Amino acid sequence: MFEKFVVATDISKDFAVSMSSIGGLKAFGAKKCLLLQFVDLNEVMDFSGIYSNELVCEYEKTLSRHKKQIEAEGLEVETRTLPGFSIGHINRICEEEGYSLTVVASRKYTPEGEVSFGRIANDLIHSALYPSMLIRTDDPVGADEDALLTGEKTDLNSHILYPTDFSDNADIAFRYIKEMASDKVQKITLLHVQDKSRISPHLEDRIKEFNKLDEARLKGMKDMLEREGNAEVETVVKYGSPSLEILRIVEDLDVKLVVMGSQGRGYVKEFFLGSVSHNVARLSPSSVLLIPTRHRPGQHIQKGEGKSCV
């Protein structure tokens, strides 16, 4: 499913820590990694336009270290260095060279206790034309990089949450869930949240009817997944704010990976994601895999497509 994937990186600690989780992608068929390092030209050049050898050397050392870390996970690794970050570079590489996933690191919490969401992660989830995974890095205050790199690794396949609103976009994301179920996933939770903002107050008397219908839908999905593989599958129906309920389930059930569609439309960056996808991508303490509308497992955008990812 994700035999060839891209890792978009810089020299921050976030990316160094996330390298320890890359090996978990092997459960989803990963074999080859393209490690893209984006160099901030404003950092490596002084006011006269001359490169700083010290910073260039730091970038080279970091790239080499990351490459060795990923190779140690049993993956083939190619490296490239590009000037400045451009989501267009990633989209072209995926389209022209057959890469089906882009991975980026995003720290769980800053020292101030807030979620950190860097520019690479932000641009990627809004404008990527292919599936994007945000690997959450846990960076306890006071821990140095060596300690974090040797810490416990996250098994992305141990518990996957699939939130669905039964839309076309969610159905496309479910096709990825089906492939995951046939691999080495241990547990999958299927979740639907009855959106209180759409139901209250005029349709509240029909909530039992809605629950029965949606529980039957989830049961059909569960039966399908159990035929695909040996994963434990559970279904959950909640009532409330979809974003809040998804995030609550992630915490309560110790979910390791959320898989969902990115639901927006149009060319303007702010509208590429649906509000639920956006909130979960920014706030989930677990890793998040976002699936654009146009894509199915194994499918690549043809030239001329891809003006909008959702």
How far is 272 from 127, CA to CA, in rounded Å? Answer: 7
User: Lowest mean pLDDT: which of 61-70, 99-108, 223-232, 290-299?
Assistant: 290-299
Residue, of 28 and 273, whose pLDDT is higher: 28
Q: Which two tokens stand for residue 221?
A: 């999905």
β strands within 23-174, DSSP E: 32-39, 76-83, 101-107, 132-137, 160-163
192-207 pLDDT, tens digit each: 999 998 898 888 889 9
291 strand-pairing partners: 261
Across 250-266, average pLDDT: 83
Q: Which two tokens stand for residue 243?
A: 């974003």
271-286 pLDDT, tens digit each: 445 688 888 998 899 9
Question: Sorting pLDDT into bands at 50, 70 and 90, what band is 114?
Answer: very low
Q: Which residue has the tokens 């039964």?
A: 166
Using CA atoms, how far residue 113 sits from 108, 109, 110, 137, 200, in Å, is 9, 5, 5, 14, 34
Question: Sorting pLDDT into bands at 50, 70 and 90, what band is 33?
Answer: very high
Identify the CA nearest to 66 among candidates 13, 28, 106: 13
pLDDT value, residue 168: 87
Between CA 299 and CA 308, with CA 305 as vertex, the angle to 5 degrees is 100
Of 47-51, 108-112, 139-143, 215-219, where does the model show the most confidence? 215-219
56-95 pLDDT, tens digit each: 777 788 888 889 989 998 999 999 988 877 888 899 999 9
Residue, of 147 and 192, whose pLDDT is higher: 192
Tally of CA atoms within 13 A in the half-sphere of 104 that contains its CB: 26
For residue 174, give every residue at least 6 positions away whose Cβ sits within 8 Å of its Cβ, in sequence order, or none.
162, 164, 221
For residue 2, give every residue at least 6 positions away whose Cβ sits within 8 Å of its Cβ, in sequence order, or none.
25, 28, 29, 30, 100, 101, 131
Across 174-192, average pLDDT: 93
User: Lowest mean pLDDT: which of 122-126, 215-219, 228-232, 301-305?
Assistant: 301-305
23 has pLDDT over 60: yes
Sign of torsion over alpha carbons 94, 97, 98, 104: negative
CATH fold of 4-291 reads Rossmann fold (3.40.50)
pLDDT value, residue 117: 58
pLDDT value, residue 124: 80
Q: Which residue has the tokens 């839908």?
A: 217
How far is 28 from 182, CA to CA, in rounded Å? Answer: 9
269 has pLDDT over 50: no
How far is 249 from 238, CA to CA, in rounded Å? Answer: 10
Residue 48 exposed, middle or buried by CB count within 10 Å (0-12, 13-18, 19+): exposed
Identify the CA nearest to 83 among candidates 27, 42, 128: 42
Identify the CA nearest to 215 among candidates 187, 186, 237, 232: 237
Reduce the DSSP state of residue 2 to 3 states and report it.
coil
pLDDT value, residue 41: 62
How far is 4 from 24, CA to CA, in rounded Å? Answer: 14
Sign of torsion over alpha carbons 191, 192, 197, 201: negative
The amino acid present at 156, given as its one-letter code, is L
pLDDT value, residue 92: 92
Question: Sorting pLDDT into bands at 50, 70 and 90, what band is 141?
Answer: very low
pLDDT value, residue 126: 80
252 has pLDDT over 60: yes
Neighbour tally for 201: CB within 10 Å: 7
pLDDT value, residue 299: 54
Listed by start position, the domains of the chain span 4-291
Of 3-17, 112-126, 154-168, 289-303, where does the model show the most confidence? 154-168
Q: What is the mean pLDDT of the chain?
A: 80
Question: Sorting pLDDT into bands at 50, 70 and 90, what band is 303?
Answer: very low
How far is 265 from 285, CA to CA, in rounded Å? Answer: 26
